[in-house]
Amino acid sequence: MHSLAMFGREFCYAVEAAYVTPVLLSVGLPKSLYSMVWLLSPILGFLLQPVVGSVSDHCRARWGRRRPYILTLGIMMLLGMALYLNGDAVVSALVANPRKKLVWAITITMIGVVLFDFSADFIDGPIKAYLFDVCSHQDKEKGLHYHALFTGFGGALGYLLGAIDWGHLELGRLLGTEFQVMFFFSALVLTLCFIIHLCSIPEAPLRDSAEDPPSQQVSQGSSLSADGMHEYGSIEKVKHGGADTELHGGKCSSLSSL
């Protein structure tokens, strides 16, 4: 269930890859601005990803460190899809002046594409960090394998639905155009996948070890080890802490023998 987020993300990615160019052509975007649409998202990711990643590492929300950011980025993906797939239809219904209609349609579509690209690229980090934080060491490799598997399934289904000519089918006539049909499927798949993903594994909030009394720290450590789970920073503790314990234990045994 945890891997369904990758299914929904890749499904929407495939829809974007299949429909962004037809959408941009339909709103009349100048050819000189095509590269600008694809350039803005990597620039924003380069500038903001380290900052937001650091904030997420130190987040103390009751819901955990990763899930608030996954939820926020998922909502941003939905908003981006709504703008670039439905922006032209909304502007056509609200604006009568042809010149203003063209400007607003291009602006809203570009904002939607950039917002979706940024959110879909950015959300991969919190999803994998969520997996590493809540799974035991034995389950992390299996979780990454399922992530890759569901990524492929999501992309394949997205391209398959995108290849159907919805404009000549009943659903296309009911919803308006094929763009609205694909938004309906994308929003449905993404919402269901992220709800299941966010409810799949509980995430404990981050707390300072200095805030907990020693008795609580001991009980938390014993419960984590009993359940096969590891607290935050457990990888480094296994690498360094375990070796230190063995070293100190060896010294104590040698001193006692003396």
114/168: higher pLDDT: 114
Is the predicted pLDDT of residue 211 greater than 70, yes or no?
no
Which residue range(s) make up the domain with 239? 213-257
Give dist(CA 59, CA 57) in Å, integer: 6
The whole model's pTM is what?
A: 0.75
| Residue 172: both structure tokens together | 């296309």
12: enclosing H helix or E strand: helix 4-27
| Residue 106: both structure tokens together | 């291009």
Give dist(CA 197, CA 229) in Å, integer: 19
208/36: higher pLDDT: 36
Distance, C-alpha 55 to centroid of its chain: 16
pLDDT band at 104 (very low <50, low <70, confident <90, very high): very high
Statement to judge: residues 221 and 134 lie in one domain: no
- Based on the structure, what is the number of domains in the chain? 2
- The answer to whether residue 208 sits within a structural domain is no
Statement to judge: residues 146 and 181 lie in one domain: yes
240/191: higher pLDDT: 191
Statement to judge: residues 158 and 218 lie in one domain: no
From 169, 198, 227, the end of a domain falls on 198
* Contact in structure between 119 and 73 (CB atoms under 8 Å): yes
* Contact in structure between 4 and 196 (CB atoms under 8 Å): yes
Question: Residue 209: what pLDDT?
Answer: 41
Task: Encode pLDDT of 150-165 as tens digits.
Answer: 999 999 999 999 888 8
Mean of the per-residue pLDDT values of the chain = 79
Statement to judge: residues 67 and 165 lie in one domain: yes
Please list, in sequence order, all residues whose beta carbon lies within 8 angstroms of the beta carbon of residue 7, skipping any fewer than 6 positions away.
150, 151, 153, 154, 189, 193
Statement to judge: residues 110 and 194 lie in one domain: yes
From 171, 198, 225, the end of a domain falls on 198
Statement to judge: residues 124 and 231 lie in one domain: no
Closest CA to 224 of 139, 135, 144, 143: 135
